[in-house]
Structure 1
Amino acid sequence: MTKTVILGVIGSDAHVVGITILEQALEAAGFDVVNLGVQTSQEEFVEAASANDAEAVLVSSLYGHAKQDCEGFHQRIADADLDVTTYIGGNLAVGQDDFEETRKFFRELGFDRVFDSETDPEDAIEALRADLDMRSSESEQESQTVSA
């Protein structure tokens, strides 16, 4: 079964090259990709995830203001009653010296995985496959438990 992922650049960021490369890599890996493009609002991510019954939302940001752009993002996802895996990647913070601090910040915001701007798309795809396969296994186990 094909997994649907939502992809976009959040906030006022207009950097398109990274998500274009990621879109092509995800499609080549067999994912159904809904690319929202650049300057995407939180609401657009949530609406697209809901409308497309997405399994994952992948947020990109290169201009360094993702901390502000992502405040309240996971609350919007929860309010929409969505069960999606969320990733964020790019140059997420202006003056980012220690990426582990940045990763910790975004994990605390609720993102399942956080990637820096040097991440190879194949590494993100491998992680996504593992995370979505794990979610499928949990759902299958729950349905088997309920029917037993």
Structure 2
Amino acid sequence: MPRTVILGVIGSDAHVVGITILEQALSAAGFDVVNLGVKTSQADFVDAAQSHDAEAVLVSSLYGHARQDCEGFHDRIADAGLDVCTYVGGNLAVGQDEFEQTRERFREMGFDRVFDAETDPQEAIAALRQDLQLTAREAERARVDS
């Protein structure tokens, strides 16, 4: 049975290309992807994760204001009683010089994984498989069933 992931661009960000590529890669890898599109609120991510019984929430942001947009995100997830993996990726900070500092900031905010804008979708998929403890056999079965 495919694992469900929620995907969207948070806040006022309208960059759609990255999540479209990621949606296609995740679907091809056997995941059931719910793409919320652009300009997605924290509440919409939480509602979708609840209604689709998702196992992961993947937040994208390219306009550099992800820190503001994600502030309190994990409080909402906890308040909803969700137990999901959370990923954030993209160009997360304006003037981002040292990505490791940005990564640490988002890890402190509660994100399980933090990716920069140059991350290959296959890297995120491999991390997702690992975090969801998805075996190679399950991944292959999900691809065949989709």
State the TM-score, normalized to the length of structure 2: 0.91
1:122 aligns with 2:100: no
Match of 1:141 in 2: none
Output the CA distance in 1 between the equivalents of 2:23 and 2:37.
10
Identity rate, percent: 80
Asked which structure has the greater RCO (Cα within 8 Å, sep 6+), the reply is: 2
Q: How many residues align?
A: 134
Match of 1:91 in 2: 91
Q: Secondary structure at the match of 1:133?
A: coil
1:82 aligns with 2:82: yes
1:68 aligns with 2:68: yes
Deviations 1:32-89 (A, max 9, x none): 0000000000000000000000000000000000000000000000000000000000
Residue ranges of structure 2 left out of the alignment (5+ in a row): 135-146
Match of 1:137 in 2: none
State the 4+ residue runs in structure 1 displaced beyond 3 angstroms. none
Output the CA distance in 1 between the equivalents of 2:74 and 2:4.
19
Q: Secondary structure at the match of 2:7?
A: strand
Match of 2:22 in 1: 22
Instruction: Quote the RMSD (CA, aligned, Å).
Output: 0.7
Task: Look up the equivalent residue of 2:131 and give its one-letter code.
Answer: D
Task: Look up the equivalent residue of 2:105 and give its one-letter code.
Answer: F
Match of 1:7 in 2: 7
Match of 1:31 in 2: 31
Q: Tell me the CA shift for residue 6 of structure 1.
A: 0.1
Match of 1:47 in 2: 47
Match of 1:142 in 2: none
